[in-house]
Amino acid sequence: MISDINSVMTQALDGLYEGLQAIWNTEFPKTCPKCGQYYTSIEDYFSRTKPLGGSTGLMEIETPDHCEQVGLFRNCPCGSTLMAFCRDRRDDSADGERRRELFDQLLERLTEGGLPTEEARARLRQTLRSGDASRLVALWHQDGI
C-alpha cells in the first residue's frame, strides 16, 4: 500500500511540475523592451531580475475573453518592470485527466477513512507541493485508511 501511495504521489507531483514548467516555457525567451536584456528561461528571469519592493509580484489578471491569468512582475536591472504570464494551468491532456482522477481517488479514500474533505484536500495538496508523502502515508496507516 505504501508503494502505491508513493507511486501515485510521485506521478502527481511530476505532472504538476511538468505542467508548470510547460506554462513558463511558453513565456520564454523574454526580452526587456527598454534595455534589450534577454531572459532565456524562468530560472534566468528569476536569477537576473529583482522582486518588486514589498510585493510578491503576483497579480491576477482577467483577459478580454474572461479567462483568469496570473502575472508575475519583476524588475529588470535597468529598472523596467517586466511581466511573465502564467496562463491556464489546467492540463487537458490524457495525462492531466489521469492525474486528476488519481487525486480524486486519493481524496475519496481519505474522506472515507474519516478525514473531513477540506482537510484531506489540504493534506494532498501539501504533499504534492512538498514532494514528501511520509506524513500522508503515516496518516494513512494511523487511521487505517
Residues 108 and 73 in one domain: no
Grid cell 508503494 is found at: 3
Segment 16-35 shows an average pLDDT of: 71
Residues 107 and 67 in one domain: no
pLDDT for 91 equals 65
Residues 44 and 9 in one domain: no
pLDDT digits (tens, 9 = 90+) for 73-106: 899 999 999 988 765 556 667 877 887 888 888 8
The count of structural domains within the chain is 2
Residues 9 and 45 in one domain: no
Residues 7 and 31 in one domain: no
For 78, the grid coordinates are: 535597468
Residues 32 and 81 in one domain: yes
In contact, 39 and 14? CB cutoff 8 Å: no
Instruction: Enumerate residues 6+ apart whose C-beta is below 8 A from 39.
Output: 28, 29, 30, 31, 32, 45, 48, 49, 82
State which residues form the domain around 103.
2-18+91-142
Residues 80 and 53 in one domain: yes
In contact, 144 and 113? CB cutoff 8 Å: yes
